[in-house]
């Protein structure tokens, strides 16, 4: 009987040892999954912040009155880092002096004019850049139906062409991984997520068919006001 007990105890000791070995083999995989999930979740969170910047800035800009100042749009523009707090971290990681060096945001108004001024029914409209505020303002010019707003690839939806105007908001932010500089495998996985997140959307003015800007504002961010654009 005592000999049988010794055999069972010996088996238990061997089993404990195999469990420890199995755990040691599985632990690195579990850590990779855990840290990978953390990195991917941060990536998704950052992308959501860029989406929120476009949405909230567009909503604020759409509530401007018919006659506004460049300074009004610049104040809306300056709210971006409060919405996308990740921009501050990216700026620090990239040794940039301010958030606007990494988070690009442009707010543009496009007024629609009849292709044939005397047209009364079933009229065709063309877009004209009315004004633009941001690090890289859109240049003045006509935008034909189906044409992109250069230098972007954004195209005005057909259903928006008509009397009045539309606001175009575009934001971009490069993603800076959290796990760079860690173990080689994790570093490689993190760098695979390195990309620039870009989001844009369209907003209709709420208080006027067209928002006209007067050139009253600071030199930064840049702005362009296109003369002679009358909706």
Tens of pLDDT along 81-106? 999 999 999 999 899 999 999 999 99
Q: Which residues of 196-205 are buried (b: 16+ CB within 10 A; e: fewer)?
A: ebbbbbbbeb
Are 130 and 111 in contact by the 8 Å Cβ rule? The answer is yes
The pLDDT value recorded for residue 11 is: 46
What residues contact 79, with CB distance under 8 A and at least 6 apart? 56, 57, 60
**Per-residue pLDDT for 16 more than 70?**
no
The pLDDT value recorded for residue 8 is: 44
**Per-residue pLDDT for 4 more than 60?**
no
The pLDDT value recorded for residue 195 is: 82
Tens of pLDDT along 168-213? 999 999 988 887 655 555 566 666 666 889 999 999 999 999 999 9
Mean pLDDT of all residues in 201-226: 94
Mean pLDDT of all residues in 148-175: 93
How does DSSP assign 82-142, residue by residue? HH-THHHHHHHHTT-SSGGGT-EEEEEEEEEEESSTT--SS--EEEEEEEEEESSPPPS-E
The pLDDT value recorded for residue 41 is: 86
Are 60 and 213 in contact by the 8 Å Cβ rule? The answer is no
Q: Which of 116, 115, 136 is nearest to 125 (CA)?
A: 115
pTM of the shown model: 0.82
């Amino acid at each position: 009987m005592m000999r049988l007990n010794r055999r069972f105890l010996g088996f238990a000791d061997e089993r404990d040892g195999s469990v420890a070995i199995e755990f040691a083999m599985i632990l690195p995989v579990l850590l990779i999954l855990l840290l990978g999930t953390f990195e991917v979740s941060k990536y998704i969170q950052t992308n959501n912040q860029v989406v929120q910047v476009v949405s909230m800035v567009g909503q604020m800009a759409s509530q401007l009155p018919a006659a506004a100042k460049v300074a009004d749009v610049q104040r809306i523009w300056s709210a971006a880092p409060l919405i996308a707090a990740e921009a501050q971290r990216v700026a620090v990681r990239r040794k940039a002096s301010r958030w606007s060096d990494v988070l690009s945001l442009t707010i543009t108004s496009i007024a629609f004019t009849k292709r044939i001024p005397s047209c009364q029914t079933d009229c065709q409209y063309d877009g004209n850049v009315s004004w633009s505020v941001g690090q890289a303002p859109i240049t003045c010019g006509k935008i034909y139906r189906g044409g992109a707003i250069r230098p972007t690839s954004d195209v005005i939806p057909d259903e928006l062409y008509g009397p009045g105007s539309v606001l175009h908001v575009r934001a971009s932010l490069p993603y800076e991984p959290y796990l760079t500089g860690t173990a080689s495998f994790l570093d490689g996985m993190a760098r695979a997520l390195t990309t620039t997140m870009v989001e844009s959307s369209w907003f209709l003015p709420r208080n006027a068919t067209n928002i006209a800007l007067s050139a009253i504002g600071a030199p930064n961010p840049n702005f362009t006001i296109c003369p002679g654009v009358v909706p």
